[in-house]
Amino acid sequence: SQEENMVISQCLCYNQLCGFLPLQGHVVRNWKVRWFVLLQDKLLYYKIEGGKKEPTPKGRILLDGCTITCPCLEYENRPLLIKLKTKTNTDYFLECCSREERDSWALDITGAIHAGHPVQVQELHRMKNSFKLLENISLHNIVERMYDSSTGIKLTRNLDQGSRYKETFTGSALVDWLISNSFAVSRFEAVTLASMLMDENFIRPVGVRSTEATRSSDPSEKFLDDSTALYMFAESSKKNTSSKEEVHFNISELSGTIVKQGFLVKQGHKRKNWKVRKFVLRADPAFLHYYDPTKEDNKPVGGFSLRGCLVSALEDNGVPAGVKGNVQGNLFKIITKNDIHYYIQASSKAERVQWIEAIKPLT
């Protein structure tokens, strides 16, 4: 409708309430990246073809009567999901790029769902910023549930400062798990609960980041709600470490600190087609990797060292040489020291500037 298009135009101008999110299909249960736009009473999603958003929505999710689950832990390999169940019992799974992005989308969608009920919106904000642990809570019961092989916290191998740790979980994963299992309502409550588990020696920090946080004088900062802070059960075996020199190169280049991540559109090298990819920018060592968000595994499909690279914005008045297809604009280019050219498209000029400014200091 004309009103819809007007709202969408405003959304794109201000770079708010819109962005790329992988969506699971209803018939074929695969994942496709779509451009989402959140309106007052609906969530629209568009197909990207040839690097350009199609004018007509591919579909819409009516928010009246919807219920939202966040965090949603139904898929082990996709920890950053939002689940929407419509009043007709249709499930939609949306995947975000980071915990911050997921929580931001969830808060805005929740606000849209309850827009006609201001009292509920006020209650949601109160719960988000309040602190009230469940009465008669048993830490032993929580730990027992954490150990459960099917519904407990998922243990993975992680790398920190060149050392490999077995059977660990991240701080943000534990916070998500505590909320998902109704032990806490807000992230603040879950962090407090996790701190209690650490104080009572049920869990312990491993790795530099989480260990250093325990020295903080502020009790609320001793446990980190962070995807780079590692923890493990206190009774687990000690870390299995190896020096940086012994770690395989591919592992070492993925061990850097994540500086920025997000969805961008990238032109392929051979077919020159445009695909949405999840980009992860790391420092020390400085690498830019990109992932296929429709795949189940969390392995990069490409990447390169940023040392010696050149990065620059491309003008939007005309398609530069080397760029194929009817692109939407907001292009920038990265040239590696081996003279490989990467053409990347951001969703807005502001986002393009942010990526260029984040990459330049690492070159």
d(CA 9, CA 37): 10
pLDDT at residue 130, rounded to an integer: 47
* Cβ-based neighbour number of residue 324 at 10 Å: 15
pLDDT at residue 235, rounded to an integer: 74
| Residue 288 main-chain phi, psi, to 5 deg | -120, 115
> In order of start, what are the domains of the chain with their CATH numbers?
11-129 (2.30.29.30), 139-233 (1.10.10.10), 251-360 (2.30.29.30)
pLDDT at residue 11, rounded to an integer: 47
Sequence-separated (6 or more) residues with CB below 8 Å from residue 356 = 311, 312, 313, 332
pLDDT at residue 79, rounded to an integer: 84
Q: CA-CA-CA-CA torsion for 224, 230, 233, 237, nearest 10 degrees? A: -150
Sequence-separated (6 or more) residues with CB below 8 Å from residue 303 = 253, 287, 288, 289, 290
pLDDT at residue 237, rounded to an integer: 39
Name which of 82, 91, 86 is nearest 41 in CA terms: 86
Q: CA-CA-CA-CA torsion for 295, 346, 59, 25, nearest 10 degrees? A: 0
CB 174 within 8 A of CB 231: yes
| Residue 111 main-chain phi, psi, to 5 deg | -60, -40
- Averages of pLDDT over each 10 residues, the chain, 363 residues: 48 60 83 91 88 86 91 85 92 90 89 70 52 61 88 84 80 93 86 86 88 78 88 65 40 82 88 88 92 83 92 74 73 92 91 95 94
pLDDT at residue 294, rounded to an integer: 86
pLDDT at residue 3, rounded to an integer: 47
Name which of 170, 324, 166, 336 is nearest 238 in CA terms: 166
Half-sphere exposure of 337 (CA within 13 A, CB side): 7
